[in-house]
Amino acid sequence: MLYLVGLGLGDETDITLKGLEVVKKSARVYLEAYTSILLVDKSILESYYGREVIIADREMVESSSDEILEGADTVDVAFLVVGDPFGATTHTDLVIRAREKSIPVRTVPNASILSAIGAAGLQLYHFGQTVSMVFFTDNWRPASFYDRIRENRSIGLHTLVLLDIKVKEQSLENMARGRKIYEPPRYMTVGQCAQQMLEIEEEKKEGVYGPESLAVGAARVGGETEKFVAGTLKELCDADDILGGPLHSLILLGTGTHELEHEYVREFALDKENWDRIWAENYQSKK
């Protein structure tokens, strides 16, 4: 059996009892380590689980999945995923490859950012399409997220923006030369995301959001040092020191924000008076 086991978002203790039983009985245990990161080192997981944990990087999962699946038709193999197993499409692909080899698959779900973000105080059924923000380069500034945010905003829904992480990435030069030299890990911050969004708005000038748009920055959701900061996009460009280290996410408020949501999120506001003013003028639900 191939087991896809969700680890939750915080530390080694967030695994479910069912997931822990799977880990302890499996012949091999892999940890997917590029779509997200846990807030503790691999060594802590190994100590808690009492098992060796094999790091599965992007290259292994996407190009060498046979190594992970080897023998999984006769022994149990555990594939650990930060958050919930199906929070990334890569894991869907792994299941399809297992099916092609007639390997049975089971999933042990857990909390993901898609559900845990409710701790910010915004009701989950008021969220629209989730989008991703990648690091811009000098010649690559993808903006497909803009249209999805526009669609969400047009019907008053919030948008969760997931921020880019770069783990075990090669530079274009090293990739072209076939050199296995990897760049240091990088994790996008709320400030970087807010700045890039404002740059795209300046280019498109469609008024989907701007410097005065309200948003919530989130850091280490589900962990002991979880942190939320609310303000305008302009304010959040300079809020990284308050939020602290990775991982970060960003929420753009929908225009039909409920009063209970406003009251809850207001406690995170950098400038409560400014937050109240902008919310009353542009975001208060008319229902």
**Right CATH number for 2-111 from 3.40.462.40, 3.40.1010.10, 1.10.3210.10, 3.20.20.70?**
3.40.1010.10
The pTM is what? Answer: 0.89
Residue ranges of the binding site for S-adenosyl-L-methionine: 9, 84, 87, 112-113, 163, 221, 248
Domain 114-283 has CATH 3.40.50.1820: no
Q: Quote the CA–CA distance of 48 and 27 in Å, as a whole number.
A: 17
Domain boundaries, the chain: 2-111, 114-283
Res. 142: pLDDT tops 60: yes
Residue ranges of the binding site: 9, 84, 87, 112-113, 163, 221, 248
Instruction: Express each pLDDT in 31-72 by its tens digit.
Output: 987 777 777 888 999 999 999 999 887 777 777 788 899 999
Taking residues 72-76, report their average pLDDT.
95
Q: What pLDDT, on the 0 to 100 scale, is given for residue 57? A: 79
Q: What pLDDT, on the 0 to 100 scale, is given for residue 183? A: 67
